[in-house]
Structure formats: C-alpha cells, structure tokens
Structure 1
Amino acid sequence: MKSTFDLQNPWRGPGYNFPKEKYIQRNIFDRLLDDLNQKEITVVVGSRQAGKTFLMKKMIERLITEESIDPRQIFYFNFDAFNLIDLINNDRDFLDFIKYYGSPEKTSYIFLDEAQRVSEIGLLLKRYYDLGGNLKFIVSGSSSLQIKGQVKETLTGRKHLFELYPITFREFLQYKGIETHEELTRIIRFESDRYQYLMEEFVLFGGYPGVVKLDGADNKIRLLKEIYQSYVQKDISDFLKIEDIGGFNRMVQFLAHQTGGLCKINEMAKNIRLSRHFVEKYLFALDETYVMSFIRPYFVNLGKAIIKTPKVYFCDTGIRNAVFGQFESLDKRPDTGALVENFVFSELVKSIDRDYLWFYRTVTGSEIDFLFVNGDDIIPIEVKYAITRQKIVPKVYNTFIKHVGIKKAVIVTKDYLHEERRGNLKVLFRPAWSVYNLNMEFEKIT
C-alpha cells in the first residue's frame, strides 16, 4: 500500500521537478484554487477524461511551487488502485497514516481521485469532515451518479460542487495561441477564415483535452472511439451494472441521429426495441455521467415544463460524431445544422448554469432553439447556420414577443456579423465561431 502511495505522490521524493509541458489552461482552475482556502470539501465531477486528474495535479503543483506548501502536507490517492480503498475505509488507519506521513500541525490537503470507487464515499467524507482538524479534502469522480447522489444527501453545507466539462471553444482557441479578446468586427474583416477553420476542427473532434492535443484526424478519431468504449465498459457496464450493452449502444446511436430533437421516450423505445423502463434508466445514466444533457421547454407557468418533452444534446460533439460514425467536413454532411446547433448548446452549458437554459416550442411546432432565462430577463438564441449575410429573423420570434417581452435576441449564422433594432428588440447576428463571446451578453443581465 505504501509503495502504491509513493508512486502516486512522486513530489514527496527528493529532487522532484514537476514536468514542463504545454497544457490547456482551464477557466475553472482559479476557482478551484480559491476553494482550497475554504474548509468545505471541494468536489469535482464530470465526464471521463475531461481533465479532473490533470487539474488535481496542477493544484498540487501550484501549492508546492507557488504557495510554498510542504510536500508532506499533500496526499494524493487515486482509487483505481484498489488497495488504497481499504485504507480510507478504516478511520483509525487513515488518520494515523495522514498523521505519520504528514505534518500534523499544518493543514493536510487530501486529494481523492476516482472516488466513486469507494462505497459510501459521502458518509466517509462526512465523518472525516465532522471530526474537524486540519484536513482539506478535494474529491473527484468520473461517474457523478454516486458522487453527486451521496454528497447531495450527506454533505449538505459541507461541500462546494464543481462540474467539469470538456474544454470550451475559448479554451481551445487560447491553447492554439489565438487571441480571444479581439473585437469581432476586426476578426470578421481579417481573420474570419482562420476562426472558421478552427471552429470546424473543434466541432468535428470536440473538446476532450487528450483529443485536442493530438495531431491528425485519424489519431483524434481513434482516441474518441477509445474514450467512448472506455466509458461504456467502466461506467456503464462495470460501475452501473447495465447488462444490455447492445441496447444501450443502440439508444446512444439513435440519439446521435436525433441530435437537438425532442426526446420522445415511447417512440424511442419502439424504434430501438427496449422497454420504457430501460430507456428512462439509460437516459438518466447518460445525463448523470455528462455524456448527454437535456433542456426543458419554457412556459410562462414554469411548472408545466416539468411534464413536457425535453430536447437532448451531446455534451461533446466529438463523442457525438464518434457514435454517429461521421467526421466529414461541415460542407459535406447532411447533419451540419444539427451538429452546429449541438456545438452551440455545448458551449452554452459549459458557460452558464443549466437552470438558465431552456427552449421554446409552439403547439404548431415552431421553435426557438435556446432561451437564456434569468428571472424576467430572457434572450432567445436561434441557430441558422445556413444564413450568410442575410437579415432573416425567424417568424416564431414575433409569437414569442407577444407572450414574453424581450429586449435582445441572438441569431447564430455561418459568417454574418450584424446588429439591428426592430422596434424595442435588439437583434444580434453572430457567426458560429464567435459563440465563445456570447456569455458576455448573458453577464450583462446576471
């Protein structure tokens, strides 16, 4: 056990130097660092290979190299090594271990990675937290089903929860050395082709850090397939004990072909030859493991939305394309509109709380793709990727305005940048590659 711990904590050895390498800077990182100063348990959840382990080790590096924390104060446990699970499950042994190999008079920073492998992890953390003392826990898990479920019930008032998605398009651009604070008018004049090219790469292969760092389409596709297969094996089969993997994969493939469509459970069950019970079970698993996400229709009476049909999207377009089996360029595929709409959704859900995100649909089927809703302030967002330099405002906006007063609307186009007023309504036409800038519009009303 000690040998496993030593291997996982090389910075405790003499003369250790942290590796110097180009890495993707994550916007969430500074928030995580700030949380190290809080006594509450820091909980990071997200999809497999989204970068949780990397962020933990970057936090450790920052503590040692910039905060001058003694390496003996830092304990990293990755529970993929099952022999470490027995240690944390035994209160006395675990606390004695921390005391013996640590610096008892100072804060011990205890990083627990892949914590979903520890049964009753929520109760364990509650016990350790309630004991008091100089213990700061940072916990991560690839499967949020157990982590979120347990910490929600047992760690009320004792934790801060952070959700980690694959990287945003802004983070992708910054990794590529692209300035993301340039005026859009300057970009559209001089560099729109470059941004469009990078957006297409991102839409096709997504934002998983390992995929982003690879060169060559074949290598990216191979890793995306491995990520999905690992997810099915480790999260769906081994951890969630779902036995009908064939049925699960059929449903995911069906959803890949229905991206952005209404999630009609009975219709889906019939098409993929599964019972409603299993469809609902699999949808819940996909949502809780950050592979897919759902948004609800907006009504003036929000209570009605609970019983209405949601829309479904993938959290990462690269995984969607791997399941779909299609990596052709955007100008050569029949599903470009749906794919770009999914890209816009994934960028929105990475930047704002899902509770702010809705869609609007009339009884006749007219639809606004997304609504950003914060109290009485609402911004509709419609994806019209085929639009190039045309001032087309969807008719459904007029219907929506009659029911809900709005001051601003966004239409996402292929390459058109424009603003205009229509009465009291300000309409923003924005190229899809500028979606990384949309959250600034939301921040103005939050």
Structure 2
Amino acid sequence: MPNPDWIPRHAAARVAAALADTRVVLVGGARQAGKSTLVRVVAADHDAVRRDLDREQERAAAIADPVGFVDFSELLVIDEIQRVPSLLLAIKASVDEDPRPGRYLLTGSSQLFGMLDAPDALPGRMETVELWPLAQGELDGEPDGFVDAIFELGPDLHHESSITRADYAARIVRGGLPEAITRENDRRRERFLDAYVQSLIDRDIRQLSEIQHKGALRQMVRLLAARSATLIVPGSLASELGITRPTISRYLQALEEIFLIKRVPGWSRDLGTRATSTPKLFFVDSGIAANEIAADARSLLRPDSPFGSLLESFVLSELSRQLTWSTRAVNLFHYRDHSKYEVDAVLESRSGQVVGIEVKAASTVRTDDFRGLRRLAERLGDDFVAGVVLYTGTATLPFGEKMRAIPVSALWQAGEAEA
C-alpha cells in the first residue's frame, strides 16, 4: 500500500500556477482529503508561514485580531479558513493594499460561499482549486487522462485491461481518503469511516446549518448512500424520513457544501425533447457510500448486490476528479428525457462537443446498452464526439459509428497517447 503522505497529487501543479499570478489561492475539499499535505508540499518552495485554525490557540488569536493575524509580507498558509470566516475581510483589505500574487494560500473543508456567516469572499482576488480524495491514477501512478483522451481521440481511443470485477469491487470499498486506505483491516476502516461521517455531522454541518433532527440527518446519509447514482427528489425523502421538504433541501445543500455528496445536474440542449432537470447524486468518496450500506468487496460480487449503482457512483467521482485537472474545460451532467432515454454521464466541452458515457457492472455489453447514447448521437450530429459504455470486461469493442465499449480502468490508465 502506498504511503499517502508521499503520493503526488495532480492538483499540485494547478496550485503552484495559481500562486504565480493570483493573490489568494483556496484549496477546498473534503476533510482529510490531503489538503494540508498538498499545501505543505507546494509552500515548501516559498518563504512561508503556516497557521492552523483547527488549533484552539491560533483560532482564538484570529478571532481577537484578524488584521494582525494575516499581517505577513510573504506567503501565509492558513488551514481550515472556514473556522474563522471573518478573516476573509482582513485578507481582502490586505491584498487590496498589496496586490502581489501569491500572498495567501488557504484550505477549507466547506464551501465558503455557502457558509451562513461568511463575508463577501474575495471576488476577483481568489482562485479556488478543488481537491478530491485520492484518484485511482494517483494511487497507482497512472496518467488519469481519460477525459482529455476521449475528447482528443473520440472512438479511436483503445484500451485493454487486466482488472477484474473483484478488483473493481475492492477499489470501490477502499475509496480514496488517505487515512482510510492505510487501514487494510476492513473493521478498522469501517470504524474510521463511521467516525468520519459522524464528525462531519457533529461539527461541520452545525457550522453551516441549524440541525433540528440530528438522528434523521444521520439516517438520511445512509438512505442517500443506498440511492447513490440515482435521481434525488426531496419530496420522496421528506415522506420517508418524516421531516419537511425545505429541511431536506437544506440538509442536501449542507452535505454538498462539506464535500460529502455531489449533485450532477440534468443536461439539456434544445433537442426537440423534454429532459429532466432533476439532479443525480453520488458520494464524493465511494468508500463512504459502501460503508454506509454495509457493503464489502466480497458482498458486492453477489448477484443481488448494489455493485451497479456503486460502480456508477465510483465512475462519476473519478470523472469529477479529472475535470479539476484536465486541460479541456469540461462540465459533467446526466441525461434523461421523458421518453425514458438515459445516459449516466454527459461530458460537454466549452465549445459544445459532447461525450456520452454509460456504466455497466457486467463484463459483457449488449447493443441495447447504447440506446441512450444513440439518441444523443442522432440529435447532436457533429457535436457528438463518442458514446462509451464503460464496463468490467477487458477489451475495447466497436458497436457502430462513434460507439465503443471500453473497460472502466481506462478512466485512470488511459492518456492521450493511447490509441
């Protein structure tokens, strides 16, 4: 097992580039995703001072004298900035007076713009770099280049894989939180993940939102894990949990702001058909989702297991990671219209080019698996780059013009040079 303290992160290059031309850089992401390690590595090339607002004494000093706390002529690194959001005003005043790039490097475990007491958060002065838990390519030393490769090569992308269904199941359960992957004993990992989620509810969500139904919120997280990679309708959750729809909506927003879940919006272009705008939900870390429904690697291989939904959630999270470092500006959506045509993931570039992706847990693929992808291809014409069914088999197979079945491992093993 690799030592997570020494795993190079794709985001490091982007953070370094942002410090070269931007006054304030924020590294945001889930707790224990590796933000502190990342900024320590990047800051090692600077004459920097680091302060941690999780430490009570430093937090007290920041509250008592925010202007003095941020008064530093070189790079100042501040961990967990959301703990004292009033510091943002002091930082804003400082960088307005001295607009040199690379003044502040911040980390945060909740999205600053969603915080109840966050002031105007440095518009035009700050670049945000999102850090996810470790990607499969970071863990394996692979290129993590599927998004760029599929837009560059389209259906000419060819990938062969030796990864088995059992290995995919193990990767899903392992997840990417550095602390979790060091626990090779399943029970030790379960206890860590249980405590991790409970800590988020007890501390981080309380900072973002008032909680009247703590027990219901904990139950809601488990229910969301069971419905991972599905469309989430607050009304159905409200009736099942016995709390109001506005409360459900507020809790969903809070869970997203602490980077526990991610919602993928419905995709639509004026294609002459009605498409749903209901978002699809997945967990930022597949290990958390699997743990919430008590799924282990062995049980996921049973015929009646939730392997399919967890694999789709796993793929969505890996794609989302890549979008933070891909050279192309690409957005992630899902597609479902009222004629029941569906596509699990829709990648759309800024120029309007589209790649459709379906996820299948099977090791074989059928023509019917391309039903939704062909619908998109017909309606998009030349803007449709490729339709891909990611599956647990080993070979790339053609299924018609621009349609390919490709092993899931292409997500992290493929790069633009692979053709």
Stretch of structure 1 that moved more, 264-273 or 141-150? 141-150
Read off the aligned partner of 1:348 and give its amino acid letter.
Answer: L
- 1:34-67, Cα deviation, whole Å (9 max, x unpaired): 333334101111111111111122223x32xxxx
Structure having the higher helix fraction is 1
Read off the aligned partner of 1:276 and give its amino acid letter.
Answer: R
- 1:439 and 1:204 map into 2 onto residues whose CA distance is 25
CA-CA distance at 1:300 after TM superposition = 1.5
CA-CA distance at 1:308 after TM superposition = 2.2
- The change in CA–CA distance for 1:133 and 1:186 in structure 2 (over 3 A counts) is closer
Contact 1:114 1:141 in 2 (8 A): yes
From 102, 105, 118, give the equivalent of 2:84.
118
From 76, 83, 87, give the equivalent of 2:50.
76
1:431 has 2:398 as partner? no
Where does residue 25 of structure 1 map in the other structure? 8
Where does residue 376 of structure 2 map in the other structure? 400
- 1:226 and 1:125 map into 2 onto residues whose CA distance is 34
Where do 5+ consecutive residues of structure 2 fail to align? 146-156
- 2:274 and 2:59 map into 1 onto residues whose CA distance is 42
- 1:116 and 1:263 map into 2 onto residues whose CA distance is 28
Where does residue 173 of structure 1 map in the other structure? 140
TM-score, with length taken from structure 1: 0.79
**What is the aligned residue count?**
395
- 2:245 and 2:344 map into 1 onto residues whose CA distance is 27
1:299 has 2:265 as partner? no
Where does residue 85 of structure 1 map in the other structure? 59
- 1:83-132, Cα deviation, whole Å (9 max, x unpaired): 32343452564367x4xxxxxxxx51101111111132321210121121
Contact 2:274 2:337 in 1 (8 A): no
- 1:306 and 1:398 map into 2 onto residues whose CA distance is 16
Where does residue 396 of structure 2 map in the other structure? 418
- The change in CA–CA distance for 1:228 and 1:276 in structure 2 (over 3 A counts) is same
Contact 2:216 2:241 in 1 (8 A): yes
From 333, 336, 344, give the equivalent of 2:307.
336
From 9, 32, 41, give the equivalent of 2:24.
41
1:247 has 2:223 as partner? no
- 1:31 and 1:93 map into 2 onto residues whose CA distance is 29
Read off the aligned partner of 1:54 and give its amino acid letter.
Answer: T
Where does residue 377 of structure 1 map in the other structure? 353
Secondary structure (helix, strand or coil) at the match of 1:404 reads helix
- 1:290-346, Cα deviation, whole Å (9 max, x unpaired): 1111112222139x9998211111111111112222224231252111010001000
Contact 1:121 1:150 in 2 (8 A): no
Stretch of structure 1 that moved more, 122-131 or 146-155? 146-155
Where does residue 153 of structure 2 map in the other structure? none
1:360 has 2:361 as partner? no
Contact 1:24 1:209 in 2 (8 A): no
Contact 1:418 1:428 in 2 (8 A): yes
Read off the aligned partner of 2:395 and give its amino acid letter.
Answer: L
Contact 2:232 2:278 in 1 (8 A): yes
Contact 1:389 1:416 in 2 (8 A): no
CA-CA distance at 1:370 after TM superposition = 0.8
- 1:170-190, Cα deviation, whole Å (9 max, x unpaired): 11212xxx7879xx97853xx
Once the two structures are superposed, the pairs formed by residues 245-324 of structure 1 within 5 Å of their partners are 245-301=214-270, 308-324=277-293
- 1:152 and 1:342 map into 2 onto residues whose CA distance is 34
- 2:40 and 2:122 map into 1 onto residues whose CA distance is 24
Contact 1:122 1:147 in 2 (8 A): no
Where do 5+ consecutive residues of structure 1 fail to align? 1-19, 64-68, 99-106
- The change in CA–CA distance for 1:440 and 1:259 in structure 2 (over 3 A counts) is farther
Contact 2:112 2:118 in 1 (8 A): no
CA-CA distance at 1:400 after TM superposition = 2.5
Contact 2:27 2:129 in 1 (8 A): yes
Where does residue 347 of structure 1 map in the other structure? 318
Where does residue 98 of structure 2 map in the other structure? 132
- The change in CA–CA distance for 1:162 and 1:59 in structure 2 (over 3 A counts) is same
CA-CA distance at 1:360 after TM superposition = 1.4
Contact 1:357 1:371 in 2 (8 A): yes
Contact 2:275 2:337 in 1 (8 A): no
CA-CA distance at 1:364 after TM superposition = 3.1
- 1:85 and 1:290 map into 2 onto residues whose CA distance is 23
- 1:51 and 1:224 map into 2 onto residues whose CA distance is 16
- 2:144 and 2:54 map into 1 onto residues whose CA distance is 38
Stretch of structure 1 that moved more, 334-343 or 389-398? 389-398
- 2:236 and 2:143 map into 1 onto residues whose CA distance is 46
Where does residue 6 of structure 1 map in the other structure? none
1:199 has 2:177 as partner? no
Secondary structure (helix, strand or coil) at the match of 2:370 reads coil
Contact 1:122 1:150 in 2 (8 A): no
Read off the aligned partner of 2:386 and give its amino acid letter.
Answer: K
Contact 2:365 2:405 in 1 (8 A): no
Structure 1 residue ranges, 4+ long, deviating more than 6 angstroms after superposition: 147-152, 178-181, 304-307
- The change in CA–CA distance for 1:152 and 1:206 in structure 2 (over 3 A counts) is farther
